Chain A
Amino acid sequence: MITLINNFKQHLFMCVNFVWVLIRLCYIHVKKIILFRKSRDLYGGIECISMKTSKSSSRLEYIPIPKKIFILVDDIIVLQKKIIVDVGQSVLLGQVLSLGYKHIAPIHSPVSGIVTKISQKKYNFFLNKRFSIINIRSDGKDTKIDSILMSNYKKFSPDEIIQLIYNSGVVGLGGAGFLSSKKLQYSIGNAHTLVVNAAESEPYITSDDCLIRNFAQEVIQGCQIIVWILKIKCVLIAIEDDKNIAYIKIKKEIKAFPNYKIYKIKRIYPSGSSKQLIKILFNKEVPLGKHSTSLGIVVFNVSTIFSIKRAVINGEPLIERIVTLSDRRLSYQKNILVRVGTPINYILKKCNINYKDNSVVIGGPITGLIIDDLSFPILKTSNNILCLELNFMDNRLESPCIRCTACSRTCPMRLLPEQLYFYSKSFDHNKSREYHINECIECGICEQVCPSNIPLLRYFRKEKLKLNEIIFKENMSKKFKKLFVSRQSRLNSSGLINENIIYSSNNLDRVLDKKVVCNTDIEYITIEKSQFMRKKELEESIARAKLKRNIE
């Protein structure tokens, strides 16, 4: 009897113990998942000190329209002969200056006036590429051109609206400048959520905050246009947690719509980039070499949505944008509405800033470009002008890498910048392609963290350009080989192959005593050859004349 009870006790104890262990395991698992989601929302990244004053973003300021306006046009458009206007032609506000081509949007005139000059110029700091510039002198009247109105946009088909968005020249205003009409076209039928990106992670910029505070209603209207085009189910608006007034203003507008939501995000630096934003909001990672639409998510910047609304309902093309002007010590910070193409020194003059003792940076302080030529105009993608002290770069001399791996610990894309630096320095293109240099989003954190002040971004940009060139050459050589093989087979089948023409050991080269023809002395050869041909023709004609005489 006692043994039976003892046995029963043991069994009961075992069962309780087992259940207790099971419960504990489950608890640990659940806790782990919850903790993991909360703590690890973004790999890497740095926390910058916010250099934003709330005064600056509450008010929008205007400056008078400048007399001279410069508009940058890419070299491809000039080669394709897509520029419509001529020198001396009078232009109205909103008139098309040049048509679009492939991934470049059409450009509109921001003022009414006369086209004075179309010249070419090369900027050393900006892509090292030759641009052509359209100069316009404004008459100060701002007479508009007649435009199409689609205020009741539900009558039209989605394709027509997308075509209108393309025709009014809307590009992504976050910084990359991707065509937003193309983004819409790709995601028809694929997307189910729209993410509105209002997170500006760079420390000085407040232009998006200013836009939401002043035009919150129009932003929501722009969202509704995109929702109607793509038939989207829910909309998420992501705002940083220090923008309280903008948060309240949008929440008032949203109340009528049940499928709109706002999220507050922590202020970590590369959270403004689209892939990082998806990682924070959904805890999903975009796969390698793919766009965010493959997950069914479309990301648009706030100012892009605002300009889409302006294009569709008001019929205005993209000719003006909000730019933040700031100093390093925050003695002034303003948001101004500027026409595209206004030269920078004009803006600085109007705001009473002494630009001769300062060096000027376009874009944010981390990824921006230092400008030498102050007549550089404002582009569609530039959202910030920063004035810094003249000698702030003095103590940033480049010193050798010490392999501290600080950069690879903070890289938000989980790349190895330290390895990529060595490969790009030694021109090892195959290795750098293996280590996914094309996935770099150029956030510039590695450059900020680096203790020996290596300009890593500059190396990566150069390496990317070089890789593009190599891929282009490979594609071209494949194409050429196809063409050559098809020609060869054609000649063989028809029996027309003439070896004398193709071989370089023909009559002409034997005379010139030169077998290898270099590209450099082509001109010299052409002159000599033409002289030789003339001599030969003369001799032939003399011989023909003699023959004729003999027959007669």
Chain B
Amino acid sequence: MLYSICFFSILSIFFGFLINYVLYYYSIDSDPIIDKIDELLPQTQCAQCDYPGCYAYASAIGNNNERIDKCIPGGNEVVFKISSLLNNDELEYNCMNSSNDVFSKIAIIDEENCVGCSKCRLICPVDAIVGSYNFMHTILPHMCTGCNLCISICPTNCIKEKKISYDYVN
């Protein structure tokens, strides 16, 4: 009787240490499902899905049962990919706009009319805009995602979008 109690108490203490060790050293910071959804999203950070970025939308899908078909630049392909990832059979799919091709667009600042308010520099999600307060701003074309966030915030309407071919960005 006493032997068995001693044996199991020592065993439980050992396992307790082991579990704590594993939890401390091999802990997972992020949810793996959310990371997988985040990889499927197009990463333009355009905030057209009513969330600040692509990771926030992915975590909303994972945690709060958000609707899948809110990503506008991804279009139909992303919806089908996420639904196959989540095994979502009951997909009520009202055909929204087909994939809006943001990858082949970049924003361009009309540099004569820029007054240097630096609102676009603050809102740009990928730091593609260079400039400082009361000075002219420019966009680096190799980093621009074409998300159109800067177009709607500019007070003087001097940012326009331009179509480009795929080879140009490569």
Contacts and interface: CB of A to CB of B under 8 A. Distances in A.
Same complex origin of A and B: yes
Interface of A: 75-76, 79-80, 102, 129, 468-469, 472-473, 476-478, 480-481, 483-484, 486-487, 498-499, 501-505, 515-520, 522, 525-527, 529-530, 533
Contact of B48 (A129, A503, A517, A526): A517
A388 B34 CA distance: 60
B126 A480 contact: yes
Contacts of A529: 152-153
Contact of B102 (A472, A519, A525, A533): A519
Contacts of B43: 477-478, 480-481, 484
Interface of B: 41-45, 47-50, 52-54, 70, 72, 97, 100, 102-103, 122-123, 125-128, 143, 145, 148, 151-157, 161, 164-170
Contacts of B103: 472-473, 476
Contact of A522 (B53, B151, B155, B166): B151
8 contacts: A472-B169, A476-B169, A480-B45, A483-B143, A484-B43, A486-B127, A502-B125, A525-B152
Which applies to chain B's interface (DSSP): helix, strand, loop or mixed?
Answer: loop
A533 B152 CA distance: 11
Contacts of B122: 498, 501
A264 B168 CA distance: 44
A499 B123 CA distance: 10
Consensus secondary structure, chain A interface? helix
B80 to A, nearest CB: 11
B47 to A, nearest CB: 5
Contacts of A473: 42, 103
A522 B168 contact: no
> Which are the 4 A-B pairs with shortest beta-carbon distances?
A483-B126, A477-B43, A480-B43, A502-B52
A484 B53 contact: yes
A389 to B, nearest CB: 37
B157 A526 contact: yes
A526 B154 contact: yes
A441 to B, nearest CB: 22
Given A516-B48, A529-B153, 16 more contacts: A79-B164, A79-B168, A472-B166, A477-B41, A478-B43, A483-B127, A502-B52, A502-B123, A502-B125, A503-B47, A504-B50, A516-B50, A519-B72, A526-B151, A530-B155, A530-B157
Nearest to A537: B155
